[in-house]
Amino acid sequence: MHHDFWHERWLTGQTGFHQSTVHPLLERWWLSLDVPARARVYVPLCGKSLDMAWLAGRGHPVVGSELSSIAIREFFASAQLVEQLATDGDFVRHAAGTFEILEGDALALTPQLTGPLEAFYDRAALVA
């Protein structure tokens, strides 16, 4: 999909893909993966997913990537966090608490941008 498609979806509120609860399979299976408690978890195309807060609640610093600044602002607002912004190449880095979201094209991410990652969680990015 072209970037404009996703920007339009967030702008018009056509976000039926956003879940209003933590994904039940994440809750059911995450602990069985034996991911170390302080492992940094990458969440691609994170939107404003509640799954990120669930992961952080289990001690994981969360690094997300998202194209939409609207989704990112809504995520931090719902978490009652004020993010710090910094430009990093073609990305805008939003950071607050244990969360860091890189605004930009996830396919352009590099290890230098994300920093070390020990695990990742993908609910639907591969199908998007």
**Interval 31-63: pLDDT, tens:** 999 999 899 999 998 888 999 999 999 999 999
% of the chain residues with pLDDT over 70: 88
Q: What's the rounded Cα separation, in Å, for the pair 82 and 70?
A: 14
Q: Provide the pLDDT for residue 67.
A: 92
Residue 125 confidence (pLDDT): 63
**pLDDT for 16:** 61
Predicted TM-score (pTM) of this structure: 0.86
Residue showing tokens 């799954």:
51
Q: What is the CA radius of gyration of the chain?
A: 14
d(Cα 59, Cα 47) in Å, to the nearest integer?
A: 20
pLDDT for 7 equals: 65
pLDDT beneath 70: ranges in the chain: 1, 5, 7, 9-10, 14-18, 124-128
